[in-house]
Structure 1
């Protein structure tokens, strides 16, 4: 007979245990390989910015499952389940249900009226549930969650020198230089200008993602400017080394080729860091990434939500 499942809040000294569990529990190799970066992003770095709680499910002394959940930084009425992982040897035995039920009560106690099984920008591991994690999709539906959106990532192949993602940028950069546009690697001192540009141009919240791409190993950012005025940027590695983004080009500079140059400079960095496949996360302009880097839609995510109190 199975021992009782005990769910408890985890302290940060349990990070190594949670990382090891995720390496066993995340079925897609690209996720398991970056388990340490995922937990650092979702638990440690996000916890400095918003309420984050990590939960562990134990059978006896064994950690058999975990959830990381958080409150939205944009709307405190929204709670997010950022990660669910259950040891393969303990699936279909009530562990996931116990963790999600506890997470919902925890988020309700923090003021949430609704729970999303979706990424909580700027610190997220995935936009939602990858459709290849089919048991997680089934569990979400069984627990009363409703699918309300679909998102996707695109994949850029960095595994061989002739990949479209690794096309040289020197000719395009020389053309841009003839128009007074310079392209260079961003430095930490550029962060205030980058965040101000991103806020004023796109109105989003990329401050933390931009900060996370500068001055860290296996991360980076490139920018384009004319006479000191920013025209665009592209970043990588803020959440996970293999993920590209965010990026943005000033509307007045669209169609100039700046975006493609910045994108491929970042992808070249990722290739140099030993990454064979780059994930372009939560993609909007599919044709741009396809044309500029030969990227293809590969990971598809279902996003779910449930109003607390609904049965």
Structure 2
């Protein structure tokens, strides 16, 4: 085993780290550079660090909201360097930084609102094996659904029906994002509000000036979500309309399939757009002593 000594990385290293990620993350190579760039430019209230060995890198973070929990946001080792101890050394460096920051538990898990995945994709078997070998316990399972964007995404009849009920559905203009985000934060949380502001596409429904529902895509590069409807507006079919409008935008952006992130209601997405459960993620954690 080599004597591998990770060193700190900076934003100036982003292109090199992106190239490593593109080579290592074979299931996500197309979006790997965007993931690295997003994680190295996190939202306010989050401290982060990066370490590199030349052959790999790790990104870790901790937020003011949850200061005792730290996250290993992204670990990637170039195929040419795998099997030589880079991953183990990088995790150790990240854990050292987290301990110094006062963290008592480290997680291989998504750190909303800026995250790569909900956890470790089960198909990245080497990463799951490394986590378990280092003493991390699997504590939760999450999944994505995939929607084929060649499906029927029309909403014209729904828009007519909603208009008759006084409901308007529209894409949020740049100047409207803050008011949508305020609605999202009041109904759900500040993490979803950040995603609404930073999404590539944001749609919402309102009646008499009151926002009822929203849906967004691209805050986590290329994925759909989050989406929500206020309790008083449930039953109007707003979720299906907003979902389809976002997916239609993703299709127009050149995607053939869309990832629906961190899914709860399987049946809703299956019925609304024929989505299927596909990506499964294991979430890991370990107490830092």
Residue 10 of structure 1 and its aligned partner are, at CA, apart by 0.4
CA distance in 2, matches of 1:47, 1:97: 28
Residue 127 of structure 1 pairs with residue 125 of structure 2:
no
Aligned length: 289
Counterpart for residue 24 of structure 1 = 23
Q: Is the 8 A contact 2:69 2:106 kept in 1?
A: yes
**RMSD between aligned residues:** 1.3
List gaps (5 residues or longer) in structure 2.
Answer: none
Q: Tell me if the contact between 2:153 and 2:245 (Cα under 8 Å) persists in the aligned partners.
A: no
SS at match of 1:20: helix
SS in structure 2 opposite 1:66? strand
Provide Cα deviations, 1:61-82, integer angstroms capped at 9, x if missing partner.
Answer: xx20100000034210010000
Counting only pairs closer than 5 Å after superposition, residues 211-226 of structure 1 correspond to structure 2 as 211-213=197-199, 219-226=200-207
SS of the residue aligned with 1:206?
helix
Contact 2:147 2:257 in 1 (8 A): yes
For 1:185-224, what aligned pairs fall within 5 Å after superposition?
A: 185-203=171-189, 205-213=191-199, 219-224=200-205
- Residue 5 in 1 paired to residue 1 in 2? no
Q: The residue matched to 1:282 in structure 2 has which SS?
A: coil
- In structure 1, the partner of 2:157 is 171
Deviation at 1:245, TM superposition (A): 0.7
- 1:110 corresponds to which residue? 101
Aligned to 1:60: none
SS at match of 1:155: strand
Give yes or no for contact 1:72–1:80 (8 Å, CA) kept in 2: no
**Structure 2 residue 157 is matched with structure 1 residue 142:** no
CA contact (8 A) 2:39 2:114 kept: yes
* Aligned residue in 1 for 2:240: 260
1:53-109 Cα distance to aligned partner (Å, 9 max, x none): 01101xxxxx20100000034210010000000111211111100000110001111
Deviation track 1:263-285 (CA, whole Å, cap 9, x = no partner) reads 00000000000011111111111
Other-structure match for 1:236: 217
Q: Which residue of 1 aligns with 2:288?
A: 308
- Aligned counterparts of 1:144 and 1:253: Cα–Cα separation in 2: 46
Distance 1:167 1:306 in 2: 43
Alpha-carbon distance, 1:304 to partner: 0.4
Alignment of 1:46-125 (within 5 A): 46=42, 48-57=44-53, 63-125=54-116
- Partners of 1:168 and 1:204 lie apart in 2 by 31
Is 1:271 aligned with 2:251?
yes
Check whether the contact 1:68–1:84 (CA below 8 A) recurs between aligned residues: yes
Question: Which TM-score applies when normalising by structure 1?
Answer: 0.90
Q: Is residue 38–residue 125 contact of structure 1 (8 Å, CA) maintained in 2?
A: yes
Q: 1:11-69: CA deviations, max 9, x gaps?
A: 111100000011111121xx11011210111112x165410101101xxxxx2010000
Structure 2 length normalisation: TM-score?
Answer: 0.97
| Conservation of the 8 A alpha-carbon contact between 1:153 and 1:297 | yes
Alpha-carbon contact 1:149-1:302 (below 8 Å) kept: yes
> Deviation at 1:128?
0.2
The correspondence for 2:36, drawn from 39, 52, 59, is 39
C-alpha displacement of 1:286: 1.0
- Alpha-carbon deviation of 1:149? 0.4
